[in-house]
Chains A and B, each alone.
Chain A
Amino acid sequence: MGYNMENEEFQNEEVINEIGYLAYIMDTEMTMFERMKIKKSSLYRILGAMTIYSVVMILFANFL
C-alpha cells in the first residue's frame, strides 16, 4: 500500500491523491488499540497547543 506504519507516512505520492485513503488504511490495517497509540511528536504538538491556549487566556485576562 506504500504506507509506513511506524512513521505513519506514505511512501507513494500517487496514493495520497485518493480522498480518505490515509484514514481508510489506518482503519483497515491497524487495530483500534494500535490507533490509540500516538507519536511522540503529536504529544509535543498537543503540549504546544495547550501553551498557546494559556498565552491566549492570559491575553484575554489582560485586555478584555
Chain B
Amino acid sequence: MFEVIPIVIILAFLFETMDSCAGMGFGTGLTPLLFVLGYEPLQVVPILLISEAITGFTSGFFHQEFGNVHFKLKKPTNRETKVMLNIAIIGCFSIILSVFLTYYSIKVDKTIIKTYVAILVIIMGIIAMIKIRYSSNNYKPKLLTFFSALAGFNKGVGAGGYGPVVMLGQLFSGIYEKTATAIVSVSEGFVSIVGFIAFLFIPIISNLPIEIDFLLLPSIFTGGFIAALLSPYIVRVFPNKIWKIVIPVYALAIGIYVLAELFIL
C-alpha cells in the first residue's frame, strides 16, 4: 500500500537532519514517537533500518562531497576510513545479536537497560559539555575501540543509544566533530543494512514468519533522504565550535528524552 503521511515525513526530516548533523537520534528519537502515533514495532523497526541505511550512505557521500570527511577506499586507506570500518564492524555484529534476541523473545529487562543507556548518554553529554573548552584533537584509538564496543554491547542487548555513545566516544577519542558526524553516518548505514538483512534472514533460517509492513517506508524515506542531502551542507557551513556545543547538548536532550519516555510518558 503506497501512502505518504505528512506528519511522518516532517518527523523523519527533523530527526534525520539532527542525526546527520549531530550523529545521533534518528532511531532513538523517532521510534517512540511512531509508537505513540499508533504504529506497530514491525511497521517501524525494519523500515527505520532500511531508511537509515539509505540515508546513512547518502549523507556520508555528501559529507565527503562537502569536505567534512575524506574517506579513501583505495589502498592504502586513511585513518578516517579505518575508524569508520572499525565502528561499522562492531555495530554489525551487535545488531545481528539484537535482531536475534528480538525474534527469539529472549527476556531482557528493557527498562533497566534503557535506563542505564540513558544515564550513560547523559553523563557522557555532561562530560563533553565540560570538555568543550579543553578538548584536544589527539587521536586515541584504544578509547575509540572501547566506546565502539560499549555502544555495540548496548545495541546488542536491544537498548539502542548506539549513535550517541559512538558519537560522543569519537569526541572523547579526539576526532574532529564535523568528521565524527560523517563517520558515524556511514557506519550507521552499514549497521542498518546488516540489521535489515538480519531481520529478513533470521526468520527464514529459523522457519519463523516474516512480518514487515512497508506502509511507512515512502514517508520516512522522503523525510530522511531530503535531510541526508541538506545536513552535510549545514555541517560544512557552520563552524566546528557550533557543533562542539550542539552535539553534547543534543546528546543530553536525547538521554533525558529516553528517561522521560520510560518513566513519565
Determine whether the beta carbon of B176 is less than 8 Å from that of A57: no
Cβ contact of B239, chosen from A16, A22, A27, A53, cutoff 8 A: A27
Q: How far is the CB of B219 from chain A (nearest CB, A)?
A: 10
Interface centre among B68, B69, B179 (most CB of A within 10 A): B179
Closest to A62 in B: B2
B218 lies within 8 A of chain A by Cβ: yes
Cβ contact of B240, chosen from A27, A50, A61, cutoff 8 A: A27
Closest to A23 in B: B178
B200 lies within 8 A of chain A by Cβ: no
Q: How far is the CB of A11 from chain B (nearest CB, A)?
A: 13
The A contact surface, by secondary structure, is helix
B160-200 to A contact mask, C-beta < 8 Å, 1/0: 00000000000000111011100000000000000000000
Determine whether the beta carbon of B236 is less than 8 Å from that of A35: yes
Q: Count residues on chain B whose CB falls below 8 Å from chain A CBs.
A: 38
Determine whether the beta carbon of A23 is less than 8 Å from that of B237: no
Cβ contact of B233, chosen from A8, A21, A38, A56, cutoff 8 A: A38
Which residues of the partner chain B approach A46 to less than 8 Å between Cβ atoms? 62, 229
Q: How far is the CB of A16 from chain B (nearest CB, A)?
A: 5
A49 to B70, CA, bound (A): 20
B79 lies within 8 A of chain A by Cβ: yes
Determine whether the beta carbon of A60 is less than 8 Å from that of B68: no
A61 to B83, CA, bound (A): 38
B65 lies within 8 A of chain A by Cβ: yes
Determine whether the beta carbon of A64 is less than 8 Å from that of B217: yes
Determine whether the beta carbon of A56 is less than 8 Å from that of B79: no
Which residues of the partner chain A approach B1 to less than 8 Å between Cβ atoms? 64
Determine whether the beta carbon of A20 is less than 8 Å from that of B217: no
B43-61 to A contact mask, C-beta < 8 Å, 1/0: 0000000000000001001
A56 to B55, CA, bound (A): 13
Determine whether the beta carbon of A26 is less than 8 Å from that of B79: no
A24 to B70, CA, bound (A): 12
With A19-B80, A56-B221, A64-B214 already in contact, the answer to whether A32 and B237 are too (CB < 8 A) is: yes
| 10 A-B contacts (beta carbon < 8 Å) | A19-B83, A19-B137, A23-B67, A24-B240, A26-B236, A36-B237, A38-B66, A42-B66, A57-B218, A64-B2
Cβ contact of A23, chosen from B58, B83, B176, B217, cutoff 8 A: B176
